[in-house]
Amino acid sequence: MSGAILSFSTMAIAGREVSYQLDTFEIMMYRSFVGIIIVLGLASATGTWREIQRRDLRTHAMRNFAHFAGQNLWFYAITLIPLAQVFALEFTSPIWVVLLSPLILGERLTPVRLLSAIIGFCGILIVARPSPESFDIGILMAAGSAVCFAMTTMLTKKLTRTETVTCILFYLTVMQAVFGIICAGIDGDIALPDAVNIPLIVLIGCAGLLAHFCIAKALSLAPATVVTPIDFTRLPVIAVLGMLLYQEPLDLFVLLGAAVIFGGNYLNIWTESRALRKPA
């Protein structure tokens, strides 16, 4: 998860820079092309081609459609609102994991998990401060991406029961490349990146793939409700980067709301950790 934190933070900065020339569909398309090259190279180098199976294409398709939608909303949100606000709302993803995991993973919705979700929702209200005057489409985009990422996390967890990391990453890159080509080309105009943005696209592709490798590996080792909240440590990092690179103010309400969201998730982490430590 530490690798995922670094990768996502890097991707946010590079994504904002590239967005001045390319739209979100084009970013996702080129990022997937880079990912395909990397995955195929790694599969060849490690001899893991045989791990790529077609036994659960339906779950792969649902997982990658959810991620494609979430990632496009995320890339769009970082062009509209401060990076710290995007990340704070993205951090509600574990709350949605808690609420939706009984339906997708068959996990129990315990009283503590429900309480953590309620606390997290209070944090959402503090971050977003919904009102006719303060409403911003970027907030809605960031919140929507969190729901999609929660679906991605749960479907990834489901896939790790039968699929290897190589197989998951292969279908991630290939399916999202197809989604990207369709969406980017629907208007008949696909922009080509210039010399300045090509290295940034490669960086986005590498960072995105590394993040998913780290997440898939982490989810194969621990429950989704325990692994996901660790990502919170990247909020202060991205807040400082946003201030230094883009002169974004440090919004105390965003930090307070994120702290409340973290509190709700930490309650869940603490409870889950105690349960794991109990002897069978």
Q: pLDDT digits over 177-194, tens only?
A: 999 999 998 887 888 889
pLDDT (0 to 100) of residue 27: 92
Rounded to whole angstroms, the Cα distance separating 200 from 191 reads 15
Both structure tokens of 35: 């990912």
pLDDT beyond 70 at 280 = no
Both structure tokens of 120: 């997290």
CA 150, 114, 86, 217 dihedral sign is: negative
Angle in degrees, 0-180, between the axes of helices 137-159 and 83-90, rounded to the nearest 10: 40
> CA end-to-end span of the chain, whole Å?
27
Question: Quick one: how far is CA 180 from the chain centroid?
Answer: 17
Residues 6+ apart with CB under 8 A from 50: none
To the nearest 5 percent, what fractions of the chain are helix, strand and coil? 80, 0, 20
Residues 6+ apart with CB under 8 A from 158: 59, 104, 105
pLDDT (0 to 100) of residue 221: 80
- Residues 186-236 have pLDDT tens digits of 887 888 889 999 999 999 988 877 887 787 788 778 776 667 667 677 777
- Of 72, 7, 5, nearest to 205 by C-alpha is 7
Q: Which residue has the higher pLDDT, 36 or 226?
A: 36
pLDDT (0 to 100) of residue 2: 82
Residues 6+ apart with CB under 8 A from 245: 13
- Which pTM was predicted? 0.82
Q: Which domain holds residue 132?
A: 2-277
Domain total of the chain: 1
pLDDT (0 to 100) of residue 229: 66
